[in-house]
Amino acid sequence: MKNIPVAILGATGYTGAELIRLIEAHPHFEVAHLGAHSQAGKLAGEVLPGVSGRIAAMTLAAADATLPLNVELVFTALPHGAAAGSVFSALEAGKKVVDLSADFRHKTHAVYRAAYQADHPHPELFDEAVYGLTEHARDQLASARLVANPGCYPTSVLLPLIPLLKAGVIDTSSSIIIDSKSGASGAGRSAKTDLLYCELNESVKAYGLPRHRHAWEMEEWALGFAGSETKVRFVPHILPMNRGMLSTLHLSGNSSESWLDILQQAYGDEPFIKLLPQGTLPSTAGISGSNRCDIGISLLSETEVVIVSCIDNLLKGAAGQAIQNANLMFGLDETEGLATHALWP
Ligand SMILES: NC(=O)C1=CN([C@@H]2O[C@H](COP(=O)(O)OP(=O)(O)OC[C@H]3O[C@@H](n4cnc5c(N)ncnc54)[C@H](OP(=O)(O)O)[C@@H]3O)[C@@H](O)[C@H]2O)C=CC1
Ligand SMILES: CC(=O)N[C@@H](CCC(=O)OP(=O)(O)O)C(=O)O
């Protein structure tokens, strides 16, 4: 029975629209309020050709409009920097919040400033925010009021990395090289020259150097979850595909033949992590539409290993993990409303 009314702020963006799709099919959550920014005042159906029926007929409120009293949970799918004020107001109004932006992912103002080159309006909430990498945060999620949903690149990197760092098999004396690729939806739905069809099509481009903001997030949570001082050399690329993310981690260390067993022990029973047999590597088509992270491992030698990790940036990288976290915040089975299988065979 649907009994938990939710609001989505940023409903006209890619992750907001994905939340609508997931929540419409969710057995307990119900869309009760949609917020937007430049499109506020329009009907959802005018801005989102993919929705129909009751959702299409809902009017988009302003992102800073007063939330309906009955709303219990708010998803903020707003640009980083713009989300913090809405998160603060929602908490003040007594709602639980899952924030998809980067605004509450860091533990200190200093790291936030370094990564985002801005002051934060509500650093007093940093301590309370739970970094929602679900598989490693379940204990805290059950009682959380504010969940900072992880970034898409950090999700794809931290999931394979954390158990290996905890096991102490990775050499962290020099930077870990991470090469990542993202579909264009990772950059959001607003119009930008770089994202025009002719700029993206038939092309692959590296960006974000010398240091992408997600490098801070990866390092902070490698330390946070595994207690390991880790440095990353992270290079993201944008590809001419709609959705999907693939991260290749170049690692060295010891006892490489044990690494798959370490991951198996950590994730063997996880509904949303699929470990591929040694030597088999994942593809973005294999996870598109699912909330899974697929991980493949290839041993180059006794000491050198390549790990490839794939997620759907809009699902395990954003809206899917947000629902997984919200399920736990409301005492529900964490798989409710989420697909384990991909769209393609
Ligand atoms: N796309 C992805 O793969 C991922 C995204 N994220 C994060 O999730 C958040 C949303 O991303 P995404 O859906 O891609 O973004 P989009 O650009 O697709 O959508 C942004 C949404 O926020 C609204 N908005 C834009 N500017 C403002 C503002 N100044 N104040 C309030 N609202 C505003 C827009 O409303 P309107 O259309 O009415 O202007 C729209 O609904 C971002 O923080 C992003 O970094 C996290 C992981 C992955
Ligand atoms: C392809 C592309 O441009 N991707 C975005 C990251 C995706 C994103 O939304 O960032 P958060 O996970 O921090 O919210 C970027 O590199 O800025």
C-alpha to C-alpha distance for 93 and 145, rounded to whole angstroms: 12
Q: Is ligand 1 within 6 A of the CB of residue 16?
A: yes
**pLDDT tens digits, one per residue of 2-23:** 899 999 999 999 999 999 999 9
Q: Is ligand 2 within 6 A of the CB of residue 102?
A: yes
pLDDT of residue 345: 87
Catalytic residue among 152, 198, 293, 310: 152
The order of strands in the sheet holding 61-62 is 61-62, 29-36, 4-9, 73-76, 96-99, 146-148, 130-131
Q: Is ligand 2 within 6 A of the CB of residue 13?
A: no
Shared fold status for 4-128 and 153-313:
no
Per the CB < 8 A criterion, the answer to whether 308 and 296 are in contact is yes
Q: Is ligand 1 within 6 A of the CB of residue 192?
A: no
Q: Is ligand 1 within 6 A of the CB of residue 86?
A: no
326 pLDDT exceeds 80?
Answer: yes
The residues near 20 (Cβ < 8 Å, ≥ 6 apart) are 8, 11, 31, 34, 44, 48, 51, 55
Residue with tokens 């509500």: 122
Nearest residue (by CA) to ligand 2, atom 13, is 151
The closest ligand to the CA of 215 turns out to be 2
pLDDT of residue 91: 98
**pLDDT tens digits, one per residue of 241-267:** 999 999 999 999 998 899 999 999 999
**pLDDT tens digits, one per residue of 75-121:** 999 999 999 999 999 999 999 999 999 999 999 999 999 999 999 99
pLDDT of residue 214: 98
Place domain 4-128 in its CATH homologous superfamily.
Answer: NAD(P)-binding Rossmann-like Domain (3.40.50.720)
C-alpha to C-alpha distance for 305 and 301, rounded to whole angstroms: 7
Q: Is ligand 2 within 6 A of the CB of residue 195?
A: no
The atom number, within ligand 2, closest to the CA of 318 reads 12
Is the CA virtual torsion 162, 167, 170, 173 positive or negative? positive
ipTM for this prediction: 0.98
**DSSP helix, strand, coil percent of the chain (3-state; round to 5):** 35, 20, 45
Overall pTM surpassing 0.90 (yes/no): yes
Most informative mutation of 9, 37, 89, 133 for ligand 1 (most atoms within 8 A of CB): 37
CA of 105 to the centre of ligand 2 (A): 14
The residues near 248 (Cβ < 8 Å, ≥ 6 apart) are 178, 179, 180, 306, 307, 308
C-alpha to C-alpha distance for 326 and 25, rounded to whole angstroms: 15
Residue 175: C-alpha distances to residues 114, 139, 179, 307 (Å): 19, 30, 12, 15
153-313 carries CATH number 3.50.50.60: no
Q: Is ligand 1 within 6 A of the CB of residue 195?
A: no
> Is 293 noted as a catalytic residue in this protein?
no
Provide the token pair at 276: 């591929």
Confidence category of residue 293, pLDDT binned at 50, 70, 90: very high
1 pLDDT exceeds 80?
Answer: no
The closest ligand to the CA of 48 turns out to be 1
C-alpha to C-alpha distance for 209 and 266, rounded to whole angstroms: 32
The string of DSSP codes covering 19-33 is HHHHHHT-SSEEEEE
Residue 164 one-letter amino acid:
L
ω into 210 cis (within 30 of 0): yes
C-alpha to C-alpha distance for 140 and 145, rounded to whole angstroms: 10
Q: Is ligand 1 within 6 A of the CB of residue 189?
A: yes
pLDDT of residue 234: 98
Per the CB < 8 A criterion, the answer to whether 77 and 48 are in contact is no
- Mean pLDDT of the residues in the chain: 97
The closest ligand to the CA of 318 turns out to be 1
Instruction: Give residue limits of the domains in the chain.
Output: 4-128, 153-313
Q: Is ligand 2 within 6 A of the CB of residue 245?
A: no
**Quick one: angle between helices 109-116 and 213-226, nearest 10?**
150
Per the CB < 8 A criterion, the answer to whether 48 and 12 are in contact is yes
> 3-state class of 45 per DSSP?
helix
Per the CB < 8 A criterion, the answer to whether 55 and 45 are in contact is yes
CA of 175 to the centre of ligand 1 (A): 31
The atom number, within ligand 1, closest to the CA of 9 reads 41
The atom number, within ligand 2, closest to the CA of 238 reads 1
- State the alpha helices, DSSP H only, in 38-187: 44-47, 53-56, 83-92, 109-116, 138-141, 152-167
The closest ligand to the CA of 316 turns out to be 1
Q: What DSSP element (H or E) covers 318?
A: none
Strand 96-99, strand 73-76: pairing = parallel
pLDDT of residue 2: 83
Provide the token pair at 162: 């954390």
Cα radius of gyration (the chain): 19
**pLDDT tens digits, one per residue of 205-226:** 999 999 999 999 999 999 999 9
Nearest residue (by CA) to ligand 2, atom 9, is 186
Most informative mutation of 8, 15, 100 for ligand 1 (most atoms within 8 A of CB): 15
CA of 53 to the centre of ligand 2 (A): 31
Residue 334: C-alpha distances to residues 10, 114, 290 (Å): 23, 34, 14
